[in-house]
Amino acid sequence: MSDSPYPQNQPLPQAQLQMQAQLQGQGQSQTTQELKYKRPPSDIPDQVYSDDGTIKAEWNYLLNSLNNLGPQALVDRQEKAKRILRDDGVTYNIYADSQSSGSQWELDLVPAIIGSEEWAKIESGLLERAELFNLMLRDLYGPRHLLKNKIIPPEALFSHGGFLRACEGIKIPGEHELILHSVDLVQRKDRSMCVLSDRTQSPSGAGYVLENRTVMSRVFPSLFRDSHVHRLASFFQRLRQKLISLSPSENKARVVVLTPGAHNETYFEHSYLSNYLGFPLVQSGDLVVRNGFVWMKSLEGLDRVDVILRRIDDVFCDPVELRSDSHLGIPGILDVIRSGRVVMANPLGSGVLENPIFLKYLPEIGKSLLGREPRLDSVKTYWCGDDEDLKFITANIKDLIIKPSYRGTNQKSIWGGDLTDSETVELITKIRSKPNQYVAQERIDKAHIPTLANGVLEPRPAILRTYAIASDSSYIVMPGGLTRVGLDVGRQSISMQTGCPSKDTWVTATEPERVHEDNQSEAGHAELEALLVSLPSRVVENLFWLGRYAERAEASLRILRTVFMLLNGEEAISNESKRILLRSITEVTGTHPGFLNATDEQLKNPEAELLLIIKDGNRAGSIKSTLDSLLYCADESKELLSSDTIRVINDIRDALDNLETSLAGGLSSAPEEALDPLVIPLIALSGLMQESMVRGVGWHFMDMGRRVERAIQIMRTITTLITPMAEKSDHETLLHAMLRSMEVLITYRRHSRNRAGLELGLELVMLDSSNPRSLIFQFEQLQNHFASLRKGNTNLRELVEEDRVLLEAITSLKLSRIIQLVETKDGSRKNLSTLLMQLNKLLSDFSNIVSDKYFDHRIDPQQLVTTFWGENEG
């Protein structure tokens, strides 16, 4: 069944494994199952076995432990890891189209192991490389001795899209210009390590390393502990200290993490890292340049920003001086950086170091800048701009990887061996027309490591991304990194985009690691603490809308359930009641025209429309569209949500994905049940919002959103169900519908022995301050929120606008008389409808005031047009 070129154990089919597990119980009695690592054939390099054919010590312990666990236990733990990753909301490429591989982060449970001794060699190579690249960066944007001394041909630098002339002369505090350096490494056949590429703009992956580690230590607590794995925490601690130390302000360091936004493939890691480091996560629209400084827009106004850890590539950062079509940048920021009033890490322009042409010259560059060739090899690289190299490349193109020298050009690497003869000719022509723009690299047979596949440990090619950060006078290397493995044995291309799994990387010591005492460094920065505690106003706005959408979805589901219950109830209801009930669904969900002018036929068979109201994502107001909006707001404010909340949000996402299946049976029988997978997480969400969120600015605005929305829904429900004057026989039905959808039916029944129906009902839903679902309760809560937000600032003499509006609404409600509200005239309850209209207007005024005053109203920037220039030009 396997066509792989080497002998292997027949993998046990999944079903059979499960059956065995069931037969044997879930216990430890798995020892009959062997979980051995099958060494790949001799022509494929492998990291587990040493040259004498024995398993290396550092792997031995791991493989024995896994073997003792047995395959089924390992599969179980893989499932557990999957659940943790999903509950933590670990995603990659979440907005990719559904055709491409899933957005769930893939973690293989078998860690990549590197022994201490071997790691020491790698680490010193990485340290040296980071130092070298730092010196290169300084030279290339400064004296350019490397050109003058003919170490690098001028074309290698000048033709590269990453050499940004506008960035010349940027200086940042401290001994290093290059703050973060990251490389992709592989082990070659001769067991030496070799660098494939460098990442020097905003290296990604470090957040995923942390998450992988967290999962591994939870899934394998004892194995992890006993393996003496080097810890990662101090690396991130140093990163945090370094960022703080970069601040140009005296005794202050306001640091932010800049993300391109929730649509970026690695957004999960941006929010995860910003949380871990304790710095606010901002998007470019949250930052603004004013008076020669950079500021963050927060509810309180503008907060100065000192240091920006960016996750945006160089050329997109400033549309004034760099790519003018960028929407991710902050106009004017480059000039602030140049003047030293804000520091960006890595500095703009550092992408020039990603130029693979430099790999060809790296030994010479090392000699020139460090006085020696770098210890760590780079992949053998040929440059098409060099005549000799070009001859070699055209003659050997089938055995080379052809790469554009600048990554921004949207061109992919090409493996010459995959090309037909005519494609080869075409490629060579393309190269010859712009030879400076291409390099060719040898393909390295990557050493394989064990990976769990089909219930056994199979060899897979591995690539390791490592990270170094500047720290005091040197660099610190993360002990470990992000290992990624190929999808098959011998398979060369390894890319997260094609769903290749990742692994935790364990640098293991023979002795347990001593806890690092970092006093000296701590003391140096003790004065300089990170200060920025306010939230970008965009995040607050998203929380406000998160509250609104959550409440809107709940209200919509409640009215749907109520109507289903009545329509399918024991008692027959009149056509008039049915019309009003269905119309209330349209009104509450806002899915007009819907049932507003429904024909008799539609009234008889409302199911088609009801289904659309639930699942049609393209229809504004449908449950699906409301929940899609809710998920978007949750993504935008992710860093403020607790891990339980993120779990519940994921449940909602799953339920939405499965909506089609849940509704497959239609709505004819027990439709409430079909909606349960949505109702339950929504209830959990509102519980968590109340119980798991710190009462900070964010929570206040989120709850305000909920109150505003609930008030709107209460008014809509009363307006559609109660204001029209129905037949007397329908009164009871409609009143019950209202009370049920607002969850006060039980209270009503308890009180109704003494009082007449409608008066009591209206009092409960409008005027009862002790009912959390009454109208007055919402307005009073809004008032309370502002009182808390303004704490310590109570000397205001004149009422501010939002207070004015709320006071008017509450007063109107309090002064109303139930007797007058229930009065009917010309077939409707005029007084009730007038009061509701007035309240509705006040609520909408309130909403506008809040939005104008607290939320950011971004105007999109545009380029100053210069195309008219030609006219007056001689």
Binding of another protein by 168 (CB under 8 A)? yes
Binding of another protein by 147 (CB under 8 A)? yes
Cα–Cα distance between 342 and 351 in angstroms, integer?
19
Q: Which of residues 824-863 bind another protein (CB under 8 A)?
A: 859-863
Q: Which of 76, 87, 118, 155 binds another protein (CB under 8 A)?
A: 155
Binding of another protein by 325 (CB under 8 A)? no
Binding of another protein by 154 (CB under 8 A)? yes
Name the residue nearer to another protein (CB basis): 338 or 375. 338
778-817 core/surface letters (b: 16 or more CB in 10 A; e: else): bbbbbbebeeeeeeeeeeeeeeeebbebbebbbeebeebe
Nearest to 539 by CA among 628, 625, 632: 632
90-116 core/surface letters (b: 16 or more CB in 10 A; e: else): bbbbbeeeeeeeebbbbbbbbbbbbbb
Binding of another protein by 332 (CB under 8 A)? yes
Q: Which of residues 537-566 bind another protein (CB under 8 A)?
A: none
Binding of another protein by 604 (CB under 8 A)? no
Minimum distance, C-beta of residue 165 to another protein, in the bound complex (Å): 4
DSSP labels for 286-353?
A: GEEEETTEEEEEETTEEEE--EEEE-S-GGGS-TTTS-TT-SSS-TTHHHHHHTTSSEEESPTTGGGG
Binding of another protein by 869 (CB under 8 A)? yes
Question: Is residue 622 within 8 Å of 616, Cβ to Cβ?
Answer: yes
Binding of another protein by 150 (CB under 8 A)? yes
Cα–Cα distance between 673 and 770 in angstroms, integer?
31
Minimum distance, C-beta of residue 329 to another protein, in the bound complex (Å): 9
Question: Is residue 741 within 8 Å of 558, Cβ to Cβ?
Answer: yes
How many CB atoms sit inside 10 A of residue 575's CB? 11
Using the contact rule CB under 8 A, the part of the chain among 245-253, 297-305, 332-340, 688-696 near another protein is 332-340
Name the residue nearer to another protein (CB basis): 432 or 604. 432
Please report how the helices 623-636 and 643-657 are oriented relative to each other, as an axis angle in degrees rounded to 10.
150
Binding of another protein by 410 (CB under 8 A)? no
Tokens encoding 623: 């449950």
Minimum distance, C-beta of residue 293 to another protein, in the bound complex (Å): 9
Minimum distance, C-beta of residue 335 to another protein, in the bound complex (Å): 5
Using the contact rule CB under 8 A, the part of the chain among 407-415, 429-437, 483-491, 498-506 near another protein is 429-437
Name the residue nearer to another protein (CB basis): 297 or 548. 297
Cα–Cα distance between 103 and 15 in angstroms, integer?
26
Question: Is residue 674 within 8 Å of 667, Cβ to Cβ?
Answer: yes
Tokens encoding 778: 């919402």
Minimum distance, C-beta of residue 356 to another protein, in the bound complex (Å): 18
Backbone conformation region of residue 727, classed left if phi is above 0, alpha if psi is from -120 to 50, else beta: beta
Question: Is residue 73 within 8 Å of 29, Cβ to Cβ?
Answer: no
Question: Is residue 406 within 8 Å of 160, Cβ to Cβ?
Answer: yes
* 414 bridge partner residues: 402
Binding of another protein by 864 (CB under 8 A)? yes
DSSP, collapsed to helix, strand or coil, labels residue 17 as helix
Minimum distance, C-beta of residue 849 to another protein, in the bound complex (Å): 21
Binding of another protein by 324 (CB under 8 A)? yes
Using the contact rule CB under 8 A, the part of the chain among 142-150, 193-201, 748-756, 788-796 near another protein is 142-150
Q: Which of 335, 445, 808, 845 binds another protein (CB under 8 A)?
A: 335
Q: Which of 83, 158, 834, 837 binds another protein (CB under 8 A)?
A: 158
Minimum distance, C-beta of residue 537 to another protein, in the bound complex (Å): 17
Name the residue nearer to another protein (CB basis): 420 or 429. 429
Name the residue nearer to another protein (CB basis): 282 or 322. 322
Three-state SS for 448-507 is: EEEEEECCEEEEEEEEEEEEEEEECCEEEECCCCEEEECCCCCCCCCCHHHCCCEEEEEE
Task: Give the single-character DSSP code of 375.
Answer: S
Q: Which of 338, 375, 619, 731 binds another protein (CB under 8 A)?
A: 338
Binding of another protein by 526 (CB under 8 A)? no
First to last CA, the chain: 76
Q: Which of residues 267-296 bind another protein (CB under 8 A)?
A: 289-292
Using the contact rule CB under 8 A, the part of the chain among 39-47, 144-152, 216-224, 695-703 near another protein is 144-152
Radius of gyration of the chain (CA): 32
Binding of another protein by 409 (CB under 8 A)? no
Binding of another protein by 426 (CB under 8 A)? no
By residue count, the chain amounts to: 874
Binding of another protein by 429 (CB under 8 A)? no
DSSP, collapsed to helix, strand or coil, labels residue 253 as strand
Minimum distance, C-beta of residue 412 to another protein, in the bound complex (Å): 21
* Sign of CA pseudo-dihedral 518, 509, 110, 226: negative
Count interface residues toward another protein (CB under 8 A). 42
Name the residue nearer to another protein (CB basis): 148 or 189. 148
Binding of another protein by 868 (CB under 8 A)? yes
Using the contact rule CB under 8 A, the part of the chain among 320-328, 471-479, 593-601, 704-712 near another protein is 320-328
Question: Is residue 480 within 8 Å of 209, Cβ to Cβ?
Answer: yes
Q: Which of 203, 260, 331, 481 binds another protein (CB under 8 A)?
A: 331
Binding of another protein by 873 (CB under 8 A)? yes
Q: Which of 51, 190, 570, 871 binds another protein (CB under 8 A)?
A: 871
Binding site for another protein (CB under 8 A): 147-148, 150, 154-155, 158-159, 165-166, 168, 289-292, 319-321, 324, 331-332, 335, 338-339, 433-434, 436, 859-874
